[in-house]
Each structure stands twice: as C-alpha cells, then as structure tokens.
Amino acid sequence: MEATVPWEAFLALIEPVYHKPSSKRGRPPIPLKVMLRIHLLQQWFTLSDPLMEEMLIDRPCFRRFAGIETMGGRIPDETTTATAGRSPRSSARTVPTPASHWPNKGMPSLTAST
C-alpha cells in the first residue's frame, strides 16, 4: 500500500477541511494521516466505528498500518472515528475527488480479461 496509494495527494486534499482544534485544552488531536488510514481500513473491511475501535485494540497489523505506534499506542475511540469520518456539507463539496490525483502509470486494470 505504501507504494500504491498516493498518501501525500490524499492528505493535501483533506487537510484544508480537516478539523483543527480551537484551543489547547483536552486531548491532542489524532494526526490526519492516522485518521485517513483508519478511514480506509473501515472502508476496505466494512467496519463500523465500534468495530474499528475493537480491531485497532485487537489487531497489531491494523495498528501498524494506521501508524498508531507513533502515537504512543493511543487508540482513537469510536466517537473519534465517527466524528472524523463526517465533514460539513459545504466543506465536502469543495474537496476535489482523489481519483483525479491517482497515478495512471503502472496501475492494474480492474476489468476482467477474456
């Protein structure tokens, strides 16, 4: 996935509309890169927010992929993933589609060969 997914392009698209904390109180925010990876895991494995939290606790490979080791093992709870997965409608409409930034070279064809 590291070689296939254009992480920096995705992050550049999401960063302008990603929630930025307004004060220094409370828990530090989960890094955008971690939240993007968690969101993708949820989509790929069809996981609800509570089940995503459980999988992050239970599966070392999920934590490793999401980059949770770099956060001192702090795992986002289900309310954090639920809140981050939804953006305001006005902001959502201004974000270009990631497909327009996907590299065309070397990507496998998704159509069945006959």
63 φ, ψ (degrees, to nearest 5): -60, -40
- The answer to the question of residue 93 being in a domain is no
Count of domains observed in the chain? 1
Q: What is the pLDDT along the chain (114 residues), one digit of tens a residue?
A: 788 888 899 899 988 888 777 667 777 788 889 999 999 999 999 999 999 999 999 999 999 999 987 667 688 888 877 766 554 444 444 444 455 555 554 544 445 444
- How far apart CA 51 and CA 28 sit, in angstroms, is 23
- The answer to the question of residue 39 being in a domain is yes
49 φ, ψ (degrees, to nearest 5): -60, -45
> Among candidates 70, 71, 66, which has minimal Cα distance to 53?
66
- The answer to the question of residue 60 being in a domain is yes
- The answer to the question of residue 41 being in a domain is yes
- The answer to the question of residue 38 being in a domain is yes
Q: Say what the pTM is.
A: 0.67
> Among candidates 36, 21, 41, which has minimal Cα distance to 85?
36
